[in-house]
Amino acid sequence: MILIIARKELKILFGSPLAWILLALVQLVLTWIFLAHLDTFLQIQPQLIAIANPPGVTESVIAPVFAMAAIILLMAAPLLTARLIAEERRNHTMTFLISAPISVTDIVLGKFLGLMIFFSAVISLVTVLSISLLAGGTLDFGLLLSNVAGLFLISACFASLGLYISCLSAHPAIAAAGALGALLGLWVIDIGAGDEKESITRSFSLLDHYDNFNHGMIDTFDLAYFALFVIVFLVLSIRRLDGERLRG
């Protein structure tokens, strides 16, 4: 049943121009950044050779592109998550799903899965972009893999938070604004921490946890943070939709 819902989500998503426009724009922006970094790298390459243990192309081109990709996804995710539940309510199609012999858990997980498949498409495009560098040299596949994993996990966080906020609202635009606000807040929350490593605000910042993946370090604490984040918001969404039947 989860797969049926996910399939329906993807069909509707790709049936609208929104998905294609987002895919094209994200790819355009990232390619532009990729080329700019590549250009800089080629310029300073002669100097890099002189120093011992110089940063490779993966570190100086691909890692910054992935860092930027996370921020672009942060901006794009609310546009996609907003419609998940809020639009169903607006179009009165939520009744269609609730009346079917499926549980609310199936609905929420199906919608989450559908969106993650879309994000996977974005991530695989970025990965293909990075792999194109193989034409001119070798890559650090460990670092690339850690970046891909990090981007996948952080986009799962964006999706689950956006999904929950979409459950709270009957208007897609409000859901989008709410999700964007919450995500931006979680991005900048660690600003007050400064250089302090053990600050509590730092522990809550989404992009701070992504930073480690970006530098090639997969930390259990980061993994636990992302997993908890996704689970908490998925459970909250399910509870919220379930509770709605009782409140009316």
Partner 1 sequence: MTGQITFVTVSVRGLCRNFGTRMAVREIDLELKRGEVLGFLGPNGAGKTTIMRMLTGNLGPSAGSIEICGVDLLDKPRDAKARIGYLPEIPPLYRELTVNEYLQLSARLHRVSNAKVRFARDKVIQRCGLNGTGKRLIGSLSKGYQQRVGIAQAIIHDPDVIILDEPTVGLDPNQMREIRALIRELGAERSVILSTHILPEVESVCDRVQIIHEGRTVFCGSIGELKQKETSLEEMFMRFTMKPNNPESLTSS
Binding residues for partner 1, per CB under 8 A? 1, 4, 8, 11-12, 15-16, 91-103, 245-246, 248
CB of 143 to partner 1, least distance (A): 40
Judged by beta carbon, residue 18 or residue 182, the one nearer partner 1 is 18
- Residue nearer to partner 1 on the CB measure, 197 or 245: 245
Of 16 and 138, which CB lies nearer to partner 1 in the complex structure? 16
What sign does the dihedral 27-184-80-131 (CA atoms) show? positive
Residues, the chain, total?
Answer: 248
Least Å from the CB of residue 105 to partner 1: 11
Q: Could you tell me the smallest distance in angstroms from the CB atom of residue 125 to partner 1?
A: 24
Handedness of CA 30, 31, 35, 38 (dihedral sign): positive
Give 192 or 243: the residue with its C-beta nearer to partner 1.
Answer: 243
Nearer to partner 1, 110 or 150 (CB): 110
Tell the smallest beta-carbon distance from residue 25 to partner 1 (Å). 21
Q: Measured from the CB of residue 108, what is the shortest distance to partner 1 in angstroms?
A: 15
CA-closest candidate to residue 165, choices 234, 69, 98: 234
